[in-house]
Amino acid sequence: MKLIYIYDALCGWCYGFTPVIEELLQRFGDEMEVDVLSGGMFLSANHRPASAMYNYISQAHIQVEAVTGVKFGPAFLEEYLRTDDIMDSEKPSIALTVFKQYQPAKALSFAHDMQLALNYEGKSLNEDDTYRQLLTKYQLPIDEFLDKMKEDANRYDTVQEFKQVEQWGITGFPAAILDDGKEYFLIAKGYTPLERLLEVIEKIRGKA
């Protein structure tokens, strides 16, 4: 089975859902692989400075924490959200595209690291330095990686990923699709608890 996890690095509910996906994969072990796709939540027309999101996120994060159990850091809530850093999904999405060329099996881990950098540590995902710090864990050639992020081909591949997600009719994040080898099943539309995912997957497997 393949799980297609559609997320956005800037999406608060995705930040809460990634640990659920990690736990799901642990449950299934070698029976399930994951492909992480970027949805592109904040692109062109949706760009906005972080400070414009302050009032909304100050309230919304309380519900995300209560439902999912993740924590948003003071550096994000009280520092980052007061800056004019532009919330833009493109750069972290390109970073994921490039990362998958090196270590595709660890794409989910890297995606989560980007989420933690933003939502807990309050770091900008527009800054090369943020990626420099994240990449040391994976022992990747940092300057080469950052150069690849600037290549038109990798931006193109990332935009194609956004378009693929859109063609599937997925406009909200997070989402998860199960590919059982014969067909695709949308098993999560928005945050979904682990128990619910397990129920849905068992039903799908029972039909196989």
Q: Is the pLDDT of residue 35 over 60?
A: yes
Q: Is the pLDDT of residue 89 over 90?
A: yes
Supply 2's token pair. 């393949």
State residue 167's pLDDT score.
Answer: 96
Q: Average model confidence (pLDDT) for the chain?
A: 96
What is the full DSSP assignment across 115-164? Answer: HHHHHTT---TT-HHHHHHHHGGGT--HHHHHHHHT-HHHHHHHHHHHHH
Could you read off the pLDDT of 49-88 as tens digits, one per residue? 999 999 999 999 999 999 999 999 999 999 999 999 999 9
All structural domains of the chain: 8-207 (3.40.30.10)
* CA 40 from centre of chain: 10
Catalogue the E-assigned strands of the chain: 2-7, 33-38, 48-49, 86-87, 175-179, 184-189
How many whole angstroms separate alpha carbon 94 and alpha carbon 156?
9
